[in-house]
Structure 1
Amino acid sequence: MKNERRLRLPLQGALALTCLALLGACGHSPRRDSQPPESCRPWHSVRANGIDIEYETFGEEGNPPLLLIMGLSAQMVYWDEGFIDQLVRRGFRVIRFDNRDVGRSTHFHAAGVPSQASASQGPTSSSPPEARYLLSDMAADAVGLLDALGIKAAHVVGLSMGGMIAQEFAIRHPERVLSLTSLMSSTGDPSLPGPKPELMPLFELLLSPTRDREQAIEHGMRLFRAIASPGFPLDEAALRKKVALSYDRCYDPAGVVRQQAAITASGSRKQALASVRAPTLVIHGKEDPVIPVEAAIDTARSIPGAELLVVEGMGHDLPREVWPRIAEAIAANAARAPGERRSGREAP
């Protein structure tokens, strides 16, 4: 049917378009020097995996740890504290953090900026992408954060690119994962469908740079409106506050290009996911216009014993109305972990 048609691009290319759209929304030129902007330097952070990682915790320290990993270009503040509270009330100690190259964690300015064409090319390209690091390195950052916090293992929840990082985490560090939740993400299989074609003009529009803060925020709002859940009301005021906070806190377009190149260069995890033994939950919006629901079906089929939750009316965001359901599903999946591992700490 006409309204079901989607642009048949590699999923990595779809994410690249999202990335480049957000670059336009920022309006800063990529930096190539070795020193990040003053506003990008970390505040309260720990040294982990050779970088500084900005993080925040919620809940009682003795509760089972749950690590939240955010997506492409998104800072930890996009994990809404209301959603985090849902998890805390279910008995978790929740940890959120800035991935490398966003927010107040380390930015890899000295590594330079891959070309946008290289960062967005599909896996069948004749030349390899110019990645400065891989998703496996970002997973190692998350492991390093757990090390710095004295946590042996955690329940791991990743959203979009964060779901890809969480998958790498489970593949490469299985002993550190109590349970896995892959949220609106993908295996990276290049045969999967890309975003809805009607998003393309908006992405192209947002490529136009601006140095005006208010215009940048409005561009960001237009993008988020386009990928929001059609079945739920959009909290415009709360979203605008997050977009503005993220812009003021630190928005680094060059870092986002490096993240996108990492997605492209890391390729498909489809075969490797067969090794995952942690209890796994795959959550996806049925109306996701960026990463179609086929990606969730593919992910669930690729991981032995994985459970699939498709949310009617949900797009590529987490509307307030679904928080209780998703938090409860994450808690139920965590309960499938062996009892002696639930605390995530060494037995006495």
Structure 2
Amino acid sequence: MTAAEAPARVAAEDRFADLPAGPRICHRVDGPDDGEPLVLVAGLGLDLTSWPQRMVDGFTGRGFRVVRMDNRDAGRSGRIATPPPGRARQLLARPRPDAYDLTDMAADTVGLLDALGLGRVHLVGMSMGGMIAQVVAARHPHRVASLTSIFSTTGSRRVGQPARSTILRLARAAPRTAEESVERHLAMLGHIGGPGFPPDDDLERAWAAAVWERGGGDRSREVARQIGAIQASGDRTADLARITAPTLVVHGDVDRMVHPSGGRATAEAIAGARHVEIPGMGHHLAPGVVDRLVELTTDLARGAGRDDTARSAGADLPGGNR
């Protein structure tokens, strides 16, 4: 079949799941119905469109059924009614007593799996999404076939902290217009992106404009609540030791949003985790690094599948696990 004869990719549509014990979760599903399910969990303030289409296509091209979701307080998922923490609380890492936490966000992820009828999945999270994925793997081990944690951290205040220059940028007042939001995004990307993997500015400009519209404009209150969730969860290092799923931890060596020490600490906390630190990569899924991330995650998932098959076969042999 030539490129001209190949069927055009049909864009996935937003779908919604009303969770029995949580908010309404917006999601999209790509790839073959019979593919191994792979779930992508986005980072702080980001929606499901923050996963590059090249990355989604890379996974579906390898036979995965890819599920992307908007976390609570992001994209088109439900907003939480509690007030956001003020600037002082955020800077002092003192979350409100009524704040939700990463365990609640992990429960949303598991609730979506239930709504979609998915049992065990390959779980991939970036930044805050990596934290959520870690909690799912620690608290719901039977649901996670493999875990990929991308530029994330453990919650310990001794590791993974943003650079002071990044904190100053985050402390600025929220953008008031779509144009201001686009320019702010490009400026932040220039700061936290890695020198080895430059962004596609035209692609990023178009994405930032679309995400402003899709998310309903100013999202500062929602982002503040998500920051509160991270802070309310504290140091999760002990919880990470409970993870049994095959795990890949990926980080860049020039990350100004989550210091590379966060990735190292995450890998050290999870028994048998593979740690890959990519030179020149920052806190961004740039075009030049996407293919490598797809390959690394696919290798992990395929290896996890072979291990499951071997364990199942061993259980049927004399002396096997029963």
Under a length normalisation based on structure 1, what TM-score does the superposition of the two structures give? 0.80
Partner of 2:194: 229
* Rounded Cα–Cα distance in structure 1 between residues aligned with 2:151 and 2:98: 23
**What corresponds to 2:110 in structure 1?**
143
Counterpart in the other structure of 2:141: 174
Closer, same or farther: CA 249–238 of 1 in aligned 2, 3 Å: same
Instruction: Tell me how far apart the structure 1 counterparts of residues 56 and 105 of structure 2 sit (CA, whole Å).
Output: 22
Please say if residues 102 and 131 of structure 2, whose CA atoms lie closer than 8 Å, have aligned partners that are also in contact: yes
Structure 2 CA distance for partners of 1:169 and 1:216, relative to 1, 3 Å: same
CA distance, structure 1, for counterparts of residue 164 and residue 89 of structure 2: 22
Residue 291 of structure 1 is matched in structure 2 by 258
Contact 1:131 1:261 in 2 (8 A): no
Q: Which of the residues 97, 116, 120 maps onto 2:87?
A: 116
Matches for 1:226-305 after TM superposition, within 5 Å: 226-250=191-215, 251=217, 252-305=219-272
1:106 aligned onto 2:106: no
Query: CA 1:235/1:43 → structure 2, altered by over 3 Å: closer, same or farther?
Result: closer
Q: Distance in 2 between matches of 1:118 and 1:201?
A: 15
- Structure 2 counterpart of 1:68, one-letter code: L
Instruction: Please name the residue that 2:312 is paired with.
Output: none
* Number of the residue aligned with 2:179: 214
Higher relative contact order (CA 8 A, sep 6+): 1
CA distance change for structure 1 residues 233 and 45 in 2, over 3 Å: closer, same or farther? same
Equivalent position amino acid for 2:46 in 1: A
Q: Partner of 2:241: helix, strand, or coil?
A: helix
Residues 1:214 and 1:261: Cα distance change in structure 2 (over 3 Å):
same
Contact 2:99 2:232 in 1 (8 A): no
Q: Identity of aligned pairs, percent? A: 38
Preserved contact between residue 153 and residue 262 of structure 2 (Cα < 8 Å): yes
Q: For the structure 1 residues 60 and 71, does the alpha-carbon distance in structure 2 shift closer, same or farther, using more than 3 Å as the test?
A: same
Where structure 2 has 5 or more consecutive residues not aligned to the other structure, the ranges are 1-12, 310-322
1:158-216 CA-partner distances (Å, limit 9, x unpaired): 00000000000001111000000110000111111522333344344xx2344332122
- C-alpha distance in 2, partners of 1:187/1:294? 10
Partner of 1:90: 62
User: Deviations for 1:8-63, whole angstroms, at most 9, x for unmatched residues?
Assistant: xxxxxxxxxxxxxxxxxxxxxxxxxxxxxxxxxx9631112432111001110111
CA positional deviation for 1:338: 4.5
Q: Tell me if 1:202 matches 2:174.
A: no
1:321 is matched with: 288
Equivalent residue for 2:49? 77
State the SS of the aligned residue for 1:335: helix
Amino acid in structure 2 at the alignment position of 1:330: T
Mapped pair 1:160 → 2:160:
no
- Give the whole-Å Cα distance in 2 for the aligned partners of 1:295 and 1:271: 14
Cα pair distance change 1:43/1:283, threshold 3 Å: closer
Superposition deviation, residue 263 in structure 1: 0.2
Q: What whole-Å deviation, never above 9, does each CA across 1:223-269 have from its counterpart, x for those lacking one?
A: 12211121122200001111111111114221111111000010111
Deviations 1:54-73 (A, max 9, x none): 10011101110000000000
> Which residue type is aligned with residue 111 of structure 1?
T
Cα separation, 1, equivalents of 2:302 and 2:59? 13
Structure 1 residue 81: Cα displacement: 0.9
CA drift at 1:290? 1.1
Displacement of 1:121 after TM fit? 2.6
Paired residue secondary structure (1:186): coil
Please give the secondary structure, in 1, of the residue aligned with 2:135.
helix
Residue in structure 2 matched with residue 46 of structure 1 by the alignment: 17
- Separation in structure 2 between the aligned mates of residue 130 and residue 182 of structure 1, nearest angstrom: 28
> Matched residues in 2 for 1:228 and 1:273: separation?
27
* C-alpha deviation, 1:341, in angstroms: 5.5
- Report the Cα distance in structure 2 between the residues aligned to 1:253 and 1:90, rounded to whole angstroms: 37
Cα separation, partners in 2 of 1:53 and 1:313, compared to 1, 3 Å: same
Residues 288 and 218 (structure 1), Cα distance of their counterparts in 2 relative to 1, 3 Å cut = same
For 1:64, the equivalent position in structure 2 comes to 36
For 2:7, the equivalent position in structure 1 comes to none
